[in-house]
Amino acid sequence: MSTTAIQPVPFGRRLKRFMADRPLIPLIILLVILVVVLQILRPGIVNERWLANTIKFAIPLAILAGCQTMTMLTGGIDLSVGTVATMSAFIMATQVVNHDPAVAILIALVPAVLIGLVNGIGVGVFRVHPLIMTLGTSLIGTGCLQVYQRTVIASGAKIPPFLAWLGTGLTYGVPNALLLFVPIAVLIVLTLNRTGFGRLLYAVGDNEGAARLSGVRYWQVITALYVISSVLAGITGLLYIGLIKAPSLSLAEPLVLPSVAAAVIGGTSIFGGRGGYTGTIIGALILTVLTTLLTILQMPEGARRILFGLIVLFVTAAYLRIIEDR
Amino acid sequence: MSGRTEGGAVERQQERFWNESNAILTTNPLLDATGVVKTYGAVVALRNASLSVLPGEVHALMGANGAGKSTLVKILTGAIRADAGHILIRGEARDVRSPADARRAGLLPVYQEPSLIPDLDVASNLCLTDTPVEAFRAWVRELGIPDLDIRDIARDIPLAVLRVLDLARALAVEPDVLLLDEMTAALPANLAERVLEVVRRQGDSGRSVIFISHRFVEISALCDRATVLRDGETVGVVDIEPGVEERIVEMMLGARIEKTQRTAHQASQAASPRDSRPRLGVANLRVGTKLNDVSFDLANGEVAGVVALEGQGQDELFAALAGSIRPSGGTIEVDGQPVKFAHPADAIRAGIAYVPGDRTEALTMQRSVRENIALPFSAALRNWGPISMAQERSRVVSAIERLQIDTRAQREVQRLSGGNQQKVTIARWIAAEAQTILCFDPTRGIDVGTKQEIYKLLRELADQGKSVLFYTSELEEVQRVCDRVIVIFGGRVVDVFPVELADEPALMRAAYGLPRGVKVDVGILADIHSSPVAKP
């Protein structure tokens, strides 16, 4: 907006069009506002340590929200990411007692691939609604994990030191988790914008019939998508246990709905065909800062959740108003 | 029927005199619609339609594709409301606001699509419409289905029987005016015969029937008069008598009859050396009940037109060639090799691209022009990797330039005009260098300028040796684009014209299943009149 050429278009309309073409800008503005409010409420809180902590906690959410972004682009959703992350974390932590960490990680990712495959075939071939399909595999996965827990109860669990380093460590004040996250984020963004597969995700979500007429085989795209989503969720689980350091049967479950919210706030349409990952990353940051903000307000848990839900609703509605240029 | 001027006992007397002297005028029309107008935005569906049905009459409603038949029917039955016009039922002005209103007024339609709710059994469906069950059963037997169990779920009943049940359900409430839309389509011959017989008797018992059909044979056997629509206007009401087909065809075509413009096709015939082996060979192709037996060849460098009235199987033909649906019989050969398409991807690999008539079926509306054009590149598994942006750009840009697509709003295809959207659907396959393009009514609903560009483009493609199969609902396009015309009627190829002979009247006659050349005269009609369904 540096050039202020005089046009017969009213300023509001021009601003809207500007925002619609650059949907990230209102999100960044919102994030900055939240940080400023936090600093006003608790002067001095925004420092290097806070920043590192926020990023550390935002990263697992952002990767899971990446799974939601990609599935939502096709008009789907992946509610099994929480279970898959929990499973891979729990299996890795128990297997690492008897195996080399690399082997333990590979074993831990097997159920992730399997669940992704089942999701993909269910949605892509048998046309089960993604919500139902992933909810179903999520419940089955949780059940299997409970059975598995009985068999390993004696062996105990531990967390490999390098995962703890990756999850919590800082190097010159920069969270080590970025070492994992930056490549993943770049990969997702490039996949969505610069690969055939990414194009197909958008195309299938926008108009499945048109994609079919162009020669796209729906089941291939969907199966690959849900496997990728599940593997990403499995990796998130490994990172998350390095951060939380306490394996449990509901480790990553609380991240599932926020991951959907982060993608929606980031401008990805749940109806498919529209959105991108950079918005989602900012969405995840917004949600993390918002959580901190509500925590320091020292409200009762119930009130905090109510406020959280209201803010998410309001932000999403307002954001869609701004970027949708009709 | 008579000009009702202010008062005037003399005039009224005169009228009475006329009425008594002329049998057909003694009765006032059961249904009298005049000056009906309906517009959708800038599109005028009905300009000035009228329809007058006398008691005891079977009245045909005729018109070419897009003449406004369906719109008029929808207005009469309360499905949509007219912008202007009067509808009198038994001489009383009625404001038909809903199908229920029409039903109360004694007007009942039977549409082409079965209207029973698929998940309910027949008895529950009858309950929904308050249909007397005994009368319904009687009519079902009468119509040639002796063993119907009304507890059968509608979903499990074959289509032909469902249509008969629809008719029986309508007959059971004894409507004054029964409106039948292509009633005999999809019916086997024995059922069709019973249906026609019942319709005929309906007329004899003093009730009226409005009969919409593309089949002259049925109309001449059954109907007393016909109203002909053209471009949303009633252009004539004729008595059905031997030889009237010619007049009806003329009325449907109107002034267009002598207007034939020829364009570049002569040049192409010299330019394209015809391969002895056809690009696409179709033999005895069948799809479900709609497409019965279609055979033709499409040569390299040829634009073959397909002309058919609505619902004659052309949709199924194109879908089968595009790999969207599987044929139930027959063979398709590409360059002499037999092929079977299980998915559009198979057809595309064989170089066959399909441009559907409805743009919204082909485009991803929220995505950019570039992504839409490039979509087929990414489809195959081996192309899922990184895209060479520069290469893609040059291919897309050359296709955009070739079609002169207005790219000012290229970020989202939904912001483009209809004509530009249509160009994108074609540009996609030019960029993908498809060898054979199946265009289904590509100029529907777009502006004249863009239409011309599309004609020119299709000709150019043919001159480069590509093959185009071109279905059009506008007959005049045939002369502008095609080398040859295939006419389909009732799911069969009824005629193939070289373009020189394909003037509009000839095409129209063929599309209605009338024989070529010879003036239709008493000959065929005499046969029909002596058949069992003929007038008594």
What chain A holds in terms of domains, given with CATH numbers, is: 57-323 (1.10.3470)
Whether B150 has its CB under 8 Å from any CB of chain A: the answer is no
Query: By the 8 A CB rule, do B61 and B226 touch?
Result: yes
**Is B189 contained in some domain?**
yes
Q: Name chain A contacts of B381, Cβ cutoff 8 Å.
A: 220
Distance CA A51, CA B487 (A): 73
Residue ranges of alpha helices (H) inside B8-115 are 9-21, 23-26, 69-76, 99-104
Query: Rg of chain B over CA atoms, in angstroms?
Result: 26
Residue B339 has phi, psi (to 5 degrees) of -130, 155
SS3 assignment for B86-99: EEEECCEECCCCCH
Domain shared by B242 and B221, yes or no: yes
Distance CA B74, CA B58 (A): 19
Distance CA B10, CA B23 (A): 21
Residue A214 and residue B348: Cβ atoms within 8 Å? yes
Domain shared by B389 and B442, yes or no: no
| pLDDT band (50, 70, 90) for residue A253 | very high
Sheet holding B225-230, edge to edge: B92-93, B84-89, B31-40, B43-53, B233-239, B225-230, B58-63, B208-212, B177-181, B107-110
Domain shared by B169 and B67, yes or no: yes
Residue B244 has phi, psi (to 5 degrees) of -75, -15
Total number of domains constituting chain B: 3
β partners of residue B44: B39
Query: By the 8 A CB rule, do A262 and A285 touch?
Result: no
| Disruptive mutation site among B375, B425, B429 for chain A (greatest number of A CBs within 10 Å) | B375
**Is B377 contained in some domain?**
yes
Distance CA B247, CA A54 (A): 83
Q: Final residue of a domain: which of B258, B282, B298?
A: B258
**Is B83 contained in some domain?**
yes
Nearest CA among B145, B140, B210, B223 for reference residue B182:
B210
What is the structure's pLDDT at B9? 52
What is the structure's pLDDT at B273? 47
Domain shared by B440 and B384, yes or no: no
pLDDT digits (tens, 9 = 90+) for B319-358: 999 999 999 999 999 999 999 999 999 999 999 999 998 8
Whether A202 has its CB under 8 Å from any CB of chain B: the answer is yes
What is the structure's pLDDT at B312? 87
The dihedral region occupied by A229, where left means phi > 0, alpha psi between -120 and 50, and beta the remainder, is: alpha
Burial of B161 (0-12, 13-18, 19+ CB in 10 A): buried
What is the structure's pLDDT at B255? 56
Domain shared by B384 and B399, yes or no: yes
Beta carbon pairs, A and B, within 8 Å: 90
pLDDT digits (tens, 9 = 90+) for B157-171: 888 888 899 999 999
Domain shared by B217 and B337, yes or no: no
| pLDDT band (50, 70, 90) for residue B26 | low
Report strand pairing: B337-339 vs B329-334. antiparallel
Residue B363 and residue A210: Cβ atoms within 8 Å? yes
Residue A220 and residue B371: Cβ atoms within 8 Å? no
Domain shared by B44 and B94, yes or no: yes
Distance CA B50, CA B71 (A): 12
Domain shared by B43 and B129, yes or no: yes
Residue type, B282: V
Domain shared by B133 and B66, yes or no: yes
pLDDT digits (tens, 9 = 90+) for A194-251: 999 999 999 999 999 999 999 999 999 999 999 999 999 999 999 999 999 888 898 9
Nearest CA among A202, A280, A249, A270 for reference residue A94:
A249
CA-based end-to-end distance of chain B: 28
Stretch B15-38: mean pLDDT, rounded?
Answer: 67
Whether B354 has its CB under 8 Å from any CB of chain A: the answer is yes
At CB < 8 A and 24+ separation, what contacts does B40-43 make? Answer: B43/B445
Residue B1 in this model has a pLDDT that exceeds 50: no
Q: Final residue of a domain: which of B408, B434, B460?
A: B434
CB neighbours (10 Å) of residue B530? 8
**For residues B257 and B436, which has the higher predicted lDDT (pLDDT)?**
B436
**Is B334 contained in some domain?**
yes
Nearest CA among A243, A289, A230 for reference residue A81:
A230
**Is B527 contained in some domain?**
no
Sheet holding B352-355, edge to edge: B337-339, B329-334, B280-287, B291-298, B492-498, B484-489, B303-308, B467-471, B436-440, B352-355
Whether A195 has its CB under 8 Å from any CB of chain B: the answer is yes
Q: What is the ipTM of this complex?
A: 0.87
Nearest CA among B441, B446, B474, B481 for reference residue B460:
B481
Distance CA A269, CA B143 (A): 53
Q: Final residue of a domain: which of B224, B258, B292?
A: B258
* Contacts for B246 with CB less than 8 Å, ≥ 6 apart: B519, B520
Residue A234 has phi, psi (to 5 degrees) of -60, -45
Q: Above pLDDT 90, what percent of chain A?
A: 68
**Is B217 contained in some domain?**
yes
Residue B5 in this model has a pLDDT that exceeds 70: no
**Is B514 contained in some domain?**
no
pLDDT digits (tens, 9 = 90+) for B474-495: 888 888 899 999 999 989 999 9
Query: By the 8 A CB rule, do B413 and B421 touch?
Result: yes
**For residues B295 and B202, which has the higher predicted lDDT (pLDDT)?**
B295
Return the CATH number at B280: 3.40.50.300
Domain shared by B172 and B276, yes or no: no
**Is B183 contained in some domain?**
yes
Residue A274 and residue B361: Cβ atoms within 8 Å? no
What is the structure's pLDDT at B462? 93
State which residue of chain A sits closest to B351, comparing Cα positions.
A215
Nearest CA among A229, A211, A248 for reference residue A91:
A248
Report the gap between the CA of B442 and the closest CA in chain A (Å).
16
Residue B213 token pair:
């059909």
Domain shared by B464 and B334, yes or no: yes
Domain shared by B32 and B110, yes or no: yes
Stretch B261-278: mean pLDDT, rounded?
Answer: 50
Whether B371 has its CB under 8 Å from any CB of chain A: the answer is yes
The residue to which tokens 């000009």 are assigned:
B3
* Contacts for A284 with CB less than 8 Å, ≥ 6 apart: A58, A61, A62, A65, A259, A262, A266
* Contacts for A324 with CB less than 8 Å, ≥ 6 apart: A20
Whether B387 has its CB under 8 Å from any CB of chain A: the answer is yes
Stretch B295-309: mean pLDDT, rounded?
Answer: 93
- Containing structural domain, residue B428: 368-434
DSSP state of B29: P
